[in-house]
A and B are shown apart, each in its own frame.
Chain A
Amino acid sequence: QIQLQQSGPGLVKPSQTLSLTCAISGDSVSSNSAIWNWIRQSPSRGLEWLGRTYYRSKWYYDYAVSVKSRITINPDTSKNQFSLQLNSVTPEDTAVYYCARGGNWNYAYWGQGTLVTVSS
């Protein structure tokens, strides 16, 4: 049974860095068949894919154009988890953030979601 457990603060100040972690159970972040994603949802932007990381003999990273200059997704093999860092946040980054395990461009397992509010 694959489960994803998210953690991280629900309030971030403008211009600071949003940091979230997704702990994996029932699978390995280094799996050769899994792809680990971050997706967010807001009333103004709907569902928005942010980026992904996966391991195929080496680590690969892909990021959405809309956040590419501000985002980092990092796997942590020692803790079997992966993280999201989004720099220089604005109120537009207020959203529910989800981590998700995918195959090829579909997402069968999701974290519980974290509402992150960007406000001073």
Chain B
Amino acid sequence: QSALTQPPSASGSPGQSVTISCTGTSSDVGGYNYVSWYQHHPGKAPQLMIYDVNKRPSGVPDRFSGSKSGNTASLTVSGLQAEDEADYYCGSYAGSSNFMIFGGGTKLTIL
């Protein structure tokens, strides 16, 4: 069982928006602004999409955005495109005992 809770699946049609949630506790997501999101196409290395809750690395489209409210972080993908179909994982710093934890992943399907 993963430490952060994500819905197993999400879907949307091209052009639509979808939001994926990532729920933790006050000891991880709620306690630090070190939430990150990764896109993972099977057989390839994960790609960092969002870090520090809402920052985008260079090269990541601005269709991807992140936010946090309390113990829940969210990744929103706007203007869905076929290439956005992938697994998405959240991660969070969890303090000096547990360090880094991840969610179980959400499979995003483009309808």
Interface residues of chain A, those whose CB is within 8 Å of chain B, are: 46-49, 52, 62, 64-65, 98, 103-108, 110-113
5 more contacts with CB within 8 A, not counting A105-B36, A106-B36, are: A46-B105, A47-B102, A47-B103, A47-B105, A49-B91
- Asked if A110 and B102 sit within 8 Å, CB to CB, the answer is no
Interface residues of chain B, those whose CB is within 8 Å of chain A, are: 2, 32, 34, 36, 38, 45-48, 51-52, 57, 89, 91-93, 97-105
Which residue, of A47, A98, A103, has the highest number of chain B Cβ atoms within 10 A?
A: A47
How many Å from the CB of B43 to the closest CB on chain A? 8
Distance of A51 Cα from B104 Cα, bound (Å): 19
- Asked if B52 and A46 sit within 8 Å, CB to CB, the answer is no
How many Å from the CB of B99 to the closest CB on chain A? 6
Distance of A62 Cα from B57 Cα, bound (Å): 25
- Asked if A49 and B97 sit within 8 Å, CB to CB, the answer is no
- Asked if A112 and B51 sit within 8 Å, CB to CB, the answer is no
- Asked if A47 and B51 sit within 8 Å, CB to CB, the answer is no
- Asked if A98 and B46 sit within 8 Å, CB to CB, the answer is yes
- Asked if B2 and A105 sit within 8 Å, CB to CB, the answer is no
In the assembled complex, 29 residue pairs joining A and B whose CB atoms fall closer than 8 Å, in A order, are A46-B2, A46-B102, A46-B103, A46-B104, A47-B2, A47-B89, A47-B91, A47-B105, A49-B91, A64-B98, A65-B97, A65-B98, A98-B45, A104-B93, A105-B32, A105-B36, A105-B93, A105-B100, A106-B34, A106-B36, A106-B48, A106-B51, A107-B38, A107-B46, A107-B48, A108-B48, A110-B45, A110-B46, A112-B45
How many Å from the CB of A54 to the closest CB on chain B? 13
Supposing A106-B48, A106-B51 touch, asked if A64 and B99 sit within 8 A by C-beta, the answer is yes
How many Å from the CB of B66 to the closest CB on chain A? 11
**Which residues in B have their C-beta under 8 angstroms from that of A104?**
34, 52, 93
**Which residues in B have their C-beta under 8 angstroms from that of A65?**
97-98
- Asked if B91 and A48 sit within 8 Å, CB to CB, the answer is no
Which residue, of B34, B100, B104, has the highest number of chain A Cβ atoms within 10 A?
A: B100
Distance of A52 Cα from B101 Cα, bound (Å): 14
Q: Of all chain B residues, which has the CB nearest A52?
A: B99
**Which residues in B have their C-beta under 8 angstroms from that of A46?**
2, 89, 102-105
